[in-house]
Structure 1
Amino acid sequence: MGPLVVPALRQRLPRLKPFHRLQITLQHLSMSKPTDFSAEVLLEKKGCAGVITLNRPKALNALNVSMIRQIYPQLKRWEQDPETFLIIIKGTGGKAFCAGGDIRAITDAGRTGDRLAQDFFREEYILNNAVGTCRKPYVALIDGITMGGGVGLSVHGHFRVATEKTVFAMPETAIGLFPDVGGGYFLPKLSGKIGYFLALTGFRLKGRDIHRAGIATHFIEAEKVAALEKDLTELKSPSKENVANLLDAYHTKCKLDQEKEFILGEHTDKINSLFSANTMEGIVQNLKQDGSPFALKQLETIAKMSPTSLKMTLRQLQEGASLSLQGVLAMEFRLSQACMRGHDFYEGVRAVIIDKDQSPKWKPATLEEVTDEFLDSCFKCLGSGDLKLQ
């Protein structure tokens, strides 16, 4: 909608009736403009808690820069407010907590050299760090799809509550990116090589398995989420321990899918050995030599991913394993800008998200063609352009 449309409608207000209906229409038009984003995220005080609600259900609550610019300052205000004792973040619509970042906007910006391709990643990672360093108990109700940017809004906080509707994945290698938003920090810390497996293959975990993998701290029935939120907001001056006790009580009572085996349980030993190679070529060789149905399936998946992204991701996790969250996010900002300068991200988004033909033409096309020198350039300090975090 052009910028002149809404003012032009306003000029005609006196001649149009009923006035109230037009006011509502105008409000809707204004909200649909990128300059007015009041409805995309709701920030409310409920009882003892500050509640962040991601409110783009049609876009599966995908995170855009305007949402980041509303959430960050409010999070900081609540952190300082003596009357706010905890922070809750959730999504609307019943399908997703947050399905990721607003990839299309970033793609368009990157192609045209727009600053958004820098600003989005910089401000998103600053928000991820604010979640990770928040001094108040931070509870993410990750009911529904939780991927990419949604992981960054939840996984670094104190508590992540999954339900049977939760779907977790870091599928970025399929679109020429890497598992960012601090993926280099939390993925290597998962048991064995599970984090490496999730990062390189984009494997999806569902429901209770997200808790079993160590990503969620608690698991409850989706139908109990509203009651849990109400109980959290009604706590009197709660400490982190009070919040933990309440979440533990809900988790303990939940028997749903308790008898089901962890989906990766029978493959854990294989994952730990096959994904322990120091190079991507070594991992591929391990999978080929193993030859089991599980190994061949992972080989088939990896073959579809961007070779550049695979090598970048493996090194990201290897280096991230010994870095602080701030160190990882600074590294990932450098990598994000390398992806914005490259070919694969735009090609991946075109093939997987826009045209949906699922057959990106990666450049370089093979792992062997992605040189160490090129990777070094992706990890190189950006000087004054580097991400600076407290």
Structure 2
Amino acid sequence: MTAAYSSGAEEEVILKTIGTKGLITLNRPKALNALNLSMIRKIYPQMTKWENDPHTTMVIIKGTGDKAFCAGGDVRAVTEAAKVGDPLSQNFFKEEYILNNKIGTYGIPYIALIDGITMGGGVGLSVHGTFRVATERTLFAMPETAIGLFPDVGGGYFLPRLGGKLGIYLALTGFRLKGRDVYKSGVATHFVQSSKSTDIPDKDFVLEPHIEQIDRLFDGQTVEEICQNLQSDGSEWATKHLESLRTMSPTSLKITLRQLLEGGAMNLQECLQMEYRLSQRCAEDHDFTEGVRAVLVEKDQNPKWQPATIEEVTQERVDWYFSPLPSERELTL
């Protein structure tokens, strides 16, 4: 075993070459292996070295501990930085998306062992790779609309490709998939038990009873249309989801739906460039900072969204989110 990167136990990410394999270990178990900028800056150059090394046959990424693969990006630090004009809010998203693109275009097999919580930034570190291996402990979600963000890290690319309207449903509601359901949804490519001693029977996909409703009710060009579909349906399931959507950032819901509708016809690079614009608008606007405050910092779970209703979010506001940045600030891939 040779260490490709000098690293002690306290390192946030451990990079090693074992025989012909590169191994990335996210090593922040107390923070559920959340991804920060310094980790990105260590992973990217090493992945480039491995890709160009004829002796490296594959790269494997995993998390330390049994709770999380990677519970997300360090959005708290990003919103704090955005408040004071610190460039972290530009650099974090830019370098994270460049890493996501590297994973999506990697020249050798890239295998993510998504054992435990896999959300946000953790999805970006896994879903664009060759193989994603879920276990019974995997918990997948893209819960960004609840914090005034949107399902970034290439969510606009992979979510519309899950089949039917499943991706739009997962993106708007933040619904959590667990264990085998992560594989059955198409998010993971494989499923294995984390331990040979456990035996969980194979059950039907948790959303199977509602696939017809998802495809019908989440088929809309606007969030208002989807909400109207849910209201008209009137079932307990639809009503529950309508109530849930009413608690999300209205601005996030609108930019997320447009992101996925447009992303379905884009390649990964185009999606990431679009999402970089959205990330910078979120950092400049109100809801992202407010959502992080309410959900992650003060944890009162009572965000005050501005605007407060879906109907108040104008087309002009949504267009501004998608509008080009100054040329020197755009994401170049």
Q: TM-score, normalised by structure 2?
A: 0.96
> Aligned ranges for residues 117-156 of structure 1 at < 5 Å?
117-156=89-128
| Counterpart contact for 1:201–1:298, Cα < 8 Å | yes
Check the 8 A contact 1:37/1:66 in 2, yes or no: no
Q: Which of 79, 82, 96 is equivalent to 1:107?
A: 79
Distance 1:107 1:294 in 2: 34
Whichever of the two has the greater Rg, that structure is 1
How far, CA to CA, are the matches of 1:47 and 1:86 in structure 2?
10
Identify the residue that residue 304 of structure 1 maps to in structure 2.
247
Structure (1/2) with the larger helix percentage: 1
CA contact (8 A) 1:208 1:257 kept: no
CA–CA distance in structure 2, aligned partners of residues 37 and 385 of structure 1: 36
Provide the C-alpha distance between the structure 2 equivalents of 1:131 and 1:71, rounded to a whole number of angstroms.
Answer: 11
1:353 to 2:292 alignment: no
Partner of 2:57: 85
What TM-score does the superposition give when structure 1 sets the normalisation length? 0.82
2 CA distance for matches of 1:141 and 1:344? Answer: 33
**Residues 285-364 of structure 1: pairs in structure 2 closer than 5 A:** 285-364=228-307
Rounded to whole Å, the distance in 2 between the matches of 1:86 and 1:130 is 14
* AA of the residue aligned to 2:90: Q
SS at match of 1:43: strand
Q: CA deviation at 1:359?
A: 1.1
Q: CA deviation at 1:93?
A: 1.2
State the match for 2:3 in structure 1. Answer: none
Tell me if 1:54 matches 2:14.
no
Q: Secondary structure at the match of 1:223?
A: coil
Give the gaps of 5 or more residues in structure 1: 1-30, 225-253
Task: Work out the number of aligned pairs and report it.
Answer: 326
Counterparts of 1:162-241 in structure 2 under 5 Å?
A: 162-223=134-195
Question: SS of the residue aligned with 1:97?
Answer: strand
Aligned AA (1:139): I
**1:169–1:206: structure 2 CA closer, same or farther, 3 Å change rule?**
same
| Deviation (angstroms), 1:48 | 1.5
Aligned to 2:4: none
The aligned residue for residue 256 of structure 1 is 200
Give a deviation string over 1:338-380, Cα, whole Å, max 9, x none: 0001000011011111111111000001111111111111111
Partner of 1:388: 332
Q: CA deviation at 1:64?
A: 0.1
Amino acid corresponding to residue 219 of structure 1 in structure 2? F
Distance in 1 separating the partners of 2:139 and 2:318: 31
Within 1, Cα distance between the matches of 2:273 and 2:226?
27
Tell me, yes or no, if the aligned pair for 1:188 and 1:317 is still in contact at 8 Å. yes
- Taking the aligned partners of 1:385 and 1:106, their CA distance within structure 2 comes to 17
Which residue of structure 2 lines up, in the alignment, with residue 241 of structure 1? none
Alignment correspondent of 1:246: none
Cα separation, 1, equivalents of 2:294 and 2:28? 24
**Any conservation in 2 of the 1:132–1:157 contact (CA below 8 Å)?**
yes
Match of residue 225, structure 2, among 268, 282, 303: 282
Deviations 1:279-302 (A, max 9, x none): 000000000000101101111110
Hey, what's the Cα distance between the residues in 2 that align with 1:286 and 1:96?
36
Secondary structure of 2:163 counterpart: coil
SS in 1 for 2:246: helix
Q: Which residue of 2 is the match for residue 373 of structure 1?
A: 316
Q: Following TM superposition, by how much is the alpha carbon of 1:91 offset from its aligned partner in structure 2, in angstroms? A: 0.1
| Shift, 1:107, TM fit | 1.2
Contiguous gaps of at least 5 residues in structure 2: 1-6
SS in 2 for 1:178: coil
Q: Do the aligned partners of 1:176 and 1:348 also contact (CA within 8 Å) in 2?
A: yes
